[in-house]
Amino acid sequence: MNKVLSALFAVFSIVFSTVGLSACAAESISKNETETSKVETVKTDSAKSTVPTERAIFGAGCFWKVQYIMSKVPGVVKTSAGYTGGKIDNPTYEQVCSHTSGHVETVEVLFDPKKTTYHKLLEAFWANHDPTTLNRQGPDQGDQYRSVVFYTSPEQKAEAVKYKEELDATHKFKKPIVTAIEPAKKFYNAEDYHQDYFVKNGQVCH
């Protein structure tokens, strides 16, 4: 890997090294469904105006940690913890944890393309989890914890594939990367108690 990319990984690793990742263990409360789209507008409280945003979805283990990490990337407007890639509508946390729904714990990221790039999000994604372990992150095991990039456009797919190939070619990780790169399916917001969990509770999964 070139020096610039290595430095970026080092920065992200240092910034988030104190953030640890729990396994499934809470009761469902409520959730809202979000439709799949690449470009959305988000109302800002201060300016009381709409900000054009692009949309990205990542799965990198327990979504408590992933949401916190992505929310700290400059240019990110909003993050939501939720479920993607499954075979049933409106999944509950229990269904996801029981492996009956096929969903992945993911984080939906809305970002301002004028202030950051999809490439920056990919940097944060790959620098802050182990993409070489299949269906596992630390002590958390199960297909809901798999490493996956859900792309929302052909451009995102191409960029994610290229980035993954560069990481493998430069042996950034000792083992081959198993991160899947798949088209985004419908994203369902997780229950309220999962949202911004680290901010509210000061802890993440492990």
Catalytic residue among 24, 62, 97, 205: 62
Judging by DSSP bridges, how do beta strands 104-111 and 50-60 pair with one another?
A: antiparallel
The closest alpha carbon to 119, from 156, 152, 150, 165, belongs to 156
62 is a catalytic site residue:
yes
Residues 42 and 77: beta-carbon distance below 8 Å: yes
Beta-carbon count within 10 A of 139 CB: 11
The rounded radius of gyration (Å) of the Cα atoms in the chain is 16
- Annotated catalytic residues are 62
